[in-house]
Chain A
């Protein structure tokens, strides 16, 4: 027995893929509802993106192009690992780091900076699918609350936060209401990325492998973070002590989500784009003539590639 004998295109057996596909259609039809599915074991750990991976393997077809990112980066350990696995079990699938080129993007913890299009599908890896778990441990009871769209206990929790801290302290996984009914955990994306779900042109699929749930934010669908009227939703701010928006120390963009870290040599705090593809392309486009907005980046990236040839 060799290793290739054990695998077919897409690793999973076709019945497993069919179950996931049926689940995906239900998830789209009932926006934000966590559809249970059987969830097969994958050859990487539960918690490493097996839900997203099962979605990707059930959807992707020969000749399509895939991008895999983790923390915004194509080259982080887990992204490399997942991409390598998919390449090995889907030999005719192309992979890319260019957001604009991808038919399907599998991501952990980020939505790419570049606005996605109608021809793209975003698959998000989900560790905890249910936003109600912080107020109700029993899934049986949570399912009733979801069905009735009863989120009062969650709102009380947010309210208590405001009483204690003057604002909501939820940093990521911000509870978000889809199409006016179900509240979802949008996966551990920062608050910065939550508005990208609202009326997104791309279909967004969320897969929780360990918790055995698939849910979806269909395109052109309302996605509203849970807030109170007098407490607006705040995304992470990258304002320095002088009131200036911080810029990426590498590409200079002031419009991206930044990672901060301590520079080992200078012992100073520096900021850098978390989306590495965006950062590289922004830097190139800036070097090739001033461009400052995300929307123009698509074209500029192509221009850069031509220039590099």
Chain B
């Protein structure tokens, strides 16, 4: 890959065999889903048709990352090859702009929450889970049903998240106790994405 991003139109004619998530048009579409997800916490956006052979967590990183981004591949969910394609600068979790984590593991990171004058200098955590749904029958211990409210939510919305350790939601509460400081979460499953910005109130129903 050259330094610049390729447009999808170039894809056919190249020999690189890069997956579609590294192309500008796909990244534009994935960004639109992320923007909707962040605007409407609890709304679940299916990315399957955009992924090619890649997984969702890599697709989200590819969409957001370039050489200016600092990131941490905390649980090695991203392959080395994809990590270098993302061009991001590798740093520790407490300094990273984006931290990629496995949600099934207990939360063991302490991302930056920004400062009072610059709350945007906070880490965004991309958490990988098993499944996201707008309704859920709790079947295993790691299945959660959350009731969300706050900016972007018309009243309340319920989401079911499978395969997330209970520590995540408690840590999130600590990180977000002093608005505007806080940490935004992008939660991805095998197929879909939802976001929990720092303003979202989460009530655990199960």
The reply to whether the CB of A13 lies closer than 8 angstroms to some CB of chain B is yes
Query: Is B34's CB under 8 angstroms from A220's CB?
Result: no
- CA–CA, A33 to B118, complex, Å? 9
The reply to whether the CB of B103 lies closer than 8 angstroms to some CB of chain A is no
The reply to whether the CB of B56 lies closer than 8 angstroms to some CB of chain A is no
A8–chain B nearest beta-carbon distance, Å: 7
For residue B38, which residue of chain A has the nearest CB? A28
Query: Is B35's CB under 8 angstroms from A61's CB?
Result: no
- CA–CA, A44 to B34, complex, Å? 29
Query: Is A8's CB under 8 angstroms from B7's CB?
Result: yes
A123–chain B nearest beta-carbon distance, Å: 12
Query: Is B68's CB under 8 angstroms from A29's CB?
Result: no
- CA–CA, A222 to B150, complex, Å? 10
Query: Is B180's CB under 8 angstroms from A25's CB?
Result: no
- CA–CA, A222 to B154, complex, Å? 11
A68–chain B nearest beta-carbon distance, Å: 19
Interface residues of B in 22-40 (CB under 8 A from A): 24-25, 27-29, 31-32, 34-36, 38-40
Most chain A beta-carbon neighbours within 10 Å: one of B24, B29, B118: B24
A9–chain B nearest beta-carbon distance, Å: 6
SS class, residues of chain A in contact with chain B: mixed
Residues of chain B with a CB closer than 8 A to A221's CB: 151-152
B86–chain A nearest beta-carbon distance, Å: 11
- CA–CA, A203 to B197, complex, Å? 15
A25 in complex: contacting residue of B4, B153, B184, CB < 8 Å: B184
The reply to whether the CB of A164 lies closer than 8 angstroms to some CB of chain B is no
Most chain A beta-carbon neighbours within 10 Å: one of B35, B154, B198: B35
Please judge, given known A-B contacts A35-B120, A218-B39, A219-B39, whether A59 and B31 are in contact too, CB under 8 Å: yes
Residues of chain B with a CB closer than 8 A to A118's CB: 40
Residues of chain B with a CB closer than 8 A to A24's CB: 35
Contact segment of A70-78, A107-115, A140-148, A247-255:
A140-148
Query: Is B197's CB under 8 angstroms from A28's CB?
Result: yes
Residues of chain A with a CB closer than 8 A to B152's CB: 28, 218-221
Interface residues of A in 203-234 (CB under 8 A from B): 203, 216, 218-222
Most chain A beta-carbon neighbours within 10 Å: one of B63, B118, B199: B199
Known: A14-B24, A30-B197, A222-B151. 12 other contacts (CB 8 A): A15-B68, A18-B27, A25-B38, A26-B184, A29-B199, A30-B119, A30-B120, A147-B115, A181-B179, A181-B180, A203-B35, A218-B39
A and B contact pairs by CB, cutoff 8 A, 26 listed: A14-B5, A19-B66, A22-B97, A23-B120, A25-B34, A25-B35, A26-B120, A26-B184, A30-B182, A30-B197, A30-B199, A33-B180, A59-B31, A62-B28, A118-B40, A121-B35, A143-B117, A144-B116, A147-B117, A147-B180, A179-B199, A218-B39, A218-B40, A219-B40, A219-B154, A220-B151
